Amino acid sequence: MAPSLDTVFSALADPTRRAILNMLLEDDMAVTDVAEPFDISLAAISKHLVILSKAGLIAQEKRGRVKWCKLQPDAMRAASVWMQGFGQFEPVNLDAFERFLEGELSDQQMPASDTPE
């Protein structure tokens, strides 16, 4: 069964997980290599990887004693297709989507006296 869009977007909501996906665009990586640039524990990285795996965004495979991570584009493709339906987003341009949502939320929270004229 394919992961739901809710699961995919929940996984993509975290900047660390998005950075991991960006790293995996280049090539498969060992878990220790994925963890290297981050200032968090290997256990914390492992939790992020589990979330990405459950969302179908990555696959993990043990090769000898080393666990490797590989990008799985199908779940991302489904999210991209959903976002394209709005016509304002480029495929898999999650940064633009995040900026759009932040702008929408800040507009809703701005008191009426602070709105520009």
Quote the pLDDT of residue 81.
Answer: 82
Question: What pLDDT is recorded for position 7?
Answer: 92
Q: What is the dihedral of CA 90, 33, 39, 76, to 10 degrees?
A: 20
| Each residue's pLDDT tens digit, 62-109 | 999 999 999 998 888 888 888 887 776 555 567 777 787 777 777 766
Higher-confidence residue of 48 and 5: namely 48
What pLDDT is recorded for position 43? 95
- Report residue 97 as tokens: 């989507």
For the segment 25-57, what is each residue's pLDDT rounded down to a tens digit? 999 999 999 999 999 999 999 999 999 999 999
**Which tokens sit at 24?**
């995996």
Res. 110 pLDDT band, cuts 50 70 90? low
Q: Is the pTM higher than 0.75?
A: no
At 49 the pLDDT is 97
The answer to whether the CB of 2 falls within 8 A of the CB of 56 is yes
Burial class (CB in 10 A: 0-12, 13-18, 19+), 117: exposed
